[in-house]
């Protein structure tokens, strides 16, 4: 079964969605792994620095050279540290958001841990409890002693805490991107559907306009001929005499004889009357066809195995009759091969052929030739309808947009005819329609292919 345009479009959208999802998931997994490794490295550096502080803190207080090295290592670091004694009194802290000089050492030494601490110490002790939840404190030993003199409490470096939020930030960006993409896609689809429906309404008016105008024209011709016949009857009626119309009803005849309104005979040649009736019947059939066509838009049409040649020939005859009214000297040449029957809907395919033919006629200047062919392409087992004109042609950019809703190169057009043609051929019949060749100033060839 041939792929339709809608199924291919759905597959493409699914492929793009899944491909984008896989790429984003891979990027997220890679970033998460990278963040995890950097975080582990940061944790290792923090622990090493904390152990260095624990091992050298006491010695640095007595050795000036070691104190200088200690300051050079600890001060530039962003590692938050708190040194406490065995009883839990904090004497030194760094990078915890509390000024080290906010309280003097003597006050800290006199504070009893069993009592309520001063406000500054309370903030430092809260940090100690917070640090100990994430990392075990490192003991500080004096000399060769086995009992710790104090403890080093340390937290996370700023880098490690920031890295933790990167995956969450990526997820947030992904969902925002997904929401914006979905909103944009819905907006584009809504605009496209709005353009299609507006264009469809205008195309309906355009399709109905031709037969309606023709019917009004035949009515006007009929009135003119009636007026001419009445004038001729008046000239042929002797003075004082009246040509009463035989109504076939006794009441009407007696009313006319009693001085009522008198009706005249209208004499029309039988050939003229038949011509008027035939033309009006053709236009009425045309209106019926238009109604059937639009009634099948948006639904699955009934397809039957049919010869496409009579359908194409009927569309050509319709345009050939209209050419004299367009003030163009256009010759339509037909070349039909013996082709196998194909599964199609007669009304819709005739509509497509008329749309393409109309574009060919509109593109052709005051004179030219349009070639219409129906051939059997044996290598692809398809029946092709080919329409070639000698019109203005198209640029490569116009060819890419020629089936886009709302696109038109004409000053008066809604840009929906070829869009509907593509939908009918590809979605409803499983075929294809394309511009085979075109050249600016030399014309174009449109091809409609149906699987045989």
- Give the DSSP per-residue string, 37-56: HHHHHHHHHHHHHHHHHHHH
Within this chain, do residues 334 and 438 fall inside the same structural domain, yes or no?
Answer: yes
- How many domains does the structure of the chain reveal? 3
Q: Are residues 40 and 82 in the same domain?
A: yes
Q: Are residues 230 and 337 located together in one domain of the fold?
A: no
Does 111 fall in a domain?
Answer: yes
Q: Do 211 and 62 share a structural domain?
A: no
Domain boundary among 250, 279, 299: 299
Domain membership of residue 68 (yes or no) is: yes
- The dihedral through the CA atoms of 122, 127, 132, 134 has a sign that is positive
| Three-state secondary-structure class, residue 440 | coil
- Domain span including residue 321: 300-451
Q: What are the residues facing 344 on neighbouring strands? A: 304
Backbone φ, ψ for residue 30 (5° rounding): -65, -45
- Segment 395-403 shows an average pLDDT of 88
Q: Rounded CA gap, 353 and 386, in Å? A: 10
Are 390 and 321 in the same domain?
yes
- Are 279 and 323 in the same domain? no
What mean pLDDT comes out for the span 336-340? 94
Position 168 in a domain = no
Mean pLDDT confidence for 402-420: 73
Q: Supply 17's token pair.
A: 């969605």
C-alpha distances out from residue 144 to 54, 153, 214, Å: 14, 22, 116
The residues facing 438 across adjacent strands are 444
Residues 313 and 413 both lie in one domain: yes
Residue 92, domain member (yes or no): yes
Q: Are strands 90-94 and 150-154 parallel, antiparallel or unpaired?
A: unpaired
Q: What is the pLDDT of residues 92-149, one digit of tens each?
A: 788 888 888 888 878 888 888 888 888 988 999 999 999 888 888 888 776 666 777 7
User: Does a structural domain hold residue 284?
Assistant: yes
Q: What is the pLDDT of residues 37-52, one digit of tens each?
A: 776 776 676 667 666 6
Tokens of 54: 């624990």
The whole-chain average pLDDT of the chain stands at 77
Say if residue 295 is in the same domain as residue 306. Answer: no
Are 389 and 444 contacting, i.e. CB atoms less than 8 angstroms apart?
A: yes
* pLDDT-derived band at 366, boundaries 50, 70, 90: confident
Rounded to the nearest angstrom, the gap between the alpha carbon of residue 103 and the centroid of all alpha carbons in its chain is 67
């Amino acid at each position: 079964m041939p792929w339709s345009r809608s199924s291919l479009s759905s597959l493409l959208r699914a492929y793009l969605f899944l491909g984008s999802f896989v790429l984003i998931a891979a990027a997220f997994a890679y970033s998460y792994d990278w963040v995890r490794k950097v975080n582990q490295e940061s944790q290792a550096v923090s622990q090493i620095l904390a152990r260095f502080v624990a091992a050298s803190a006491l010695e640095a207080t007595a050795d000036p050279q070691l104190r200088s090295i200690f300051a050079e290592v600890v001060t530039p670091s962003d590692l938050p540290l708190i040194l406490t004694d065995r009883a839990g009194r904090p004497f030194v802290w760094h990078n915890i958001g509390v000024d080290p000089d906010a309280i003097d050492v003597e006050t800290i030494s006199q504070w009893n841990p069993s009592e309520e601490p001063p406000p500054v110490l309370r903030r430092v002790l809260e940090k100690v409890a917070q640090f100990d939840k994430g990392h075990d404190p490192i003991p500080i030993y004096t000399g060769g002693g086995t009992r710790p003199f104090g403890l080093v409490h340390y937290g996370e470096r700023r880098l490690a805490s920031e890295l933790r939020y990167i995956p969450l930030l990526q997820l947030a960006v992904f969902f925002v991107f997904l929401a914006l993409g979905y909103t944009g896609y819905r907006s584009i689809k809504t605009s496209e559907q709005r353009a299609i429906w507006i264009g469809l309404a205008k195309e309906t008016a355009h399709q109905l306009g031709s037969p309606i105008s023709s019917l009004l024209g035949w009515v006007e011709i009929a009135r003119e001929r009636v007026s001419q016949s009445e004038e001729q009857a008046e000239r042929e009626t002797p003075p004082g005499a009246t040509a009463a119309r035989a109504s076939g009803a006794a009441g009407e005849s007696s009313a006319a004889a009693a001085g009522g309104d008198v009706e005249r005979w209208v004499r029309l040649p039988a050939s003229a009357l038949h011509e008027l009736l035939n033309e009006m019947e053709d236009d009425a059939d045309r209106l019926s066809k238009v109604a059937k066509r639009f009634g099948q838009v948006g639904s699955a049409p009934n397809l039957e195995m049919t010869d496409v040649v009579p359908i194409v020939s009927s569309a050509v005859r319709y345009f050939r009759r209209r050419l004299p009214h367009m003030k163009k000297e256009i010759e339509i040449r037909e070349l039909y091969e013996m082709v196998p029957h194909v599964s199609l809907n007669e009304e819709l395919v005739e509509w497509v052929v008329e749309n393409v033919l109309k574009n060919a006629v509109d593109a052709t200047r005051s004179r030219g030739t349009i070639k219409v062919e129906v051939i059997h392409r044996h290598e692809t087992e398809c029946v092709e309808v080919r329409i070639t004109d000698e019109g203005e042609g198209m640029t490569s950019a116009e060819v890419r947009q020629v089936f886009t809703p709302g696109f038109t190169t004409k000053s008066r057009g809604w840009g929906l005819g070829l869009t509907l043609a593509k939908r009918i051929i590809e979605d409803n019949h499983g075929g294809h329609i394309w511009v085979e060749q075109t050249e600016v100033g030399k014309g174009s060839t449109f091809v409609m292919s149906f699987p045989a």
